[in-house]
Amino acid sequence: MTQTASVASMAGHLLLAMPDMPDPRFHRSTILLCVHDHGGALGIALGEPMGGISLRHLLSSFDLEADEVADRTVLAGGPMEPQRGFVLHSRDWLSDDSHLVGEDIALTGSLDVLSAIAQGTGPRDYLVALGYAGWGAGQLERELGAPGWYVSQANPRRLFDVSPQARWATAFALEGIDPAMLASSSGHA
């Protein structure tokens, strides 16, 4: 009988790219881990707007009336499946397809949430993203063992009202860290 090592889930935590992040795709990234288990991890990047696509544009592409919806930035959620949409939102609206991320955040990837937003019956607070960041089994744990990522304990909902470009620095500030004081590379003794 094979036994699998259990993984302490970090779902609901923020991954903040350190200045020495080796992967340029994640430079100054702020990623909310939404799923993390023995099979891998899935997160949504919160800091980069998706060029050329607004919320109204996205809603109208699904033939959803968008005139009454405040236009918002759609985020580039990560390099994986950039045509796949996700909504991070407050838990005052849930569907059967919603996945609970933290004590006050859910993730929904079905059209139901966009339809509810268009009708004015959706979640009070939400962020819309296309794509995601993904890690295979054990990959994130290996990456966390090397320089590159900082795991934040800050409440991700505190970033919902911050501009995407300011989320990285704000997330560090919520941890009591001035990102300008972080070393850009690791030293050798």
Task: List pLDDT tens digits, range 63-87.
Answer: 998 888 889 999 999 999 999 999 9
Looking at residue 187, its pLDDT comes to: 45
Stretches in the chain below the pLDDT threshold 70: 1-7, 183-189
- How many Cβ atoms from other residues are within 10 Å of residue 151's Cβ? 12
User: Rounded to an integer, what distance in angstroms lies between the CA atom of residue 187 and that of residue 189?
Assistant: 7
Contacts of 151 (CB under 8 A, 6+ apart): 10, 13, 14, 15, 16, 144
Predicted TM-score (pTM) of the model is 0.90
Looking at residue 189, its pLDDT comes to: 46
Cβ burial of 32 (10 Å; 0-12, 13-18, 19+) is buried
- CA-nearest of 62, 72, 174, 80 to 127 is 72
Looking at residue 8, its pLDDT comes to: 81
Looking at residue 7, its pLDDT comes to: 66
| Identity at 49, one-letter amino acid code | P
Domains of the chain and CATH, by start: 14-178 (3.40.1740.10)
**CA torsion, ordered 126, 132, 136, 137, to nearest 10 deg:** 0
Looking at residue 161, its pLDDT comes to: 92
Mean pLDDT of the chain: 90
User: Rounded to an integer, what distance in angstroms lies between the CA atom of residue 122 and that of residue 86?
Assistant: 14
Question: Which of 90-97's residues contact partners 24+ apart within 8 Å by CB, and which partners?
Answer: 90/123, 90/124, 90/125, 90/126, 90/157, 91/123, 92/123, 92/124, 93/121, 93/122, 93/123, 93/124
User: Rounded to an integer, what distance in angstroms lies between the CA atom of residue 6 and that of residue 151?
Assistant: 19
122-134 tens-digit pLDDT: 999 999 999 999 9
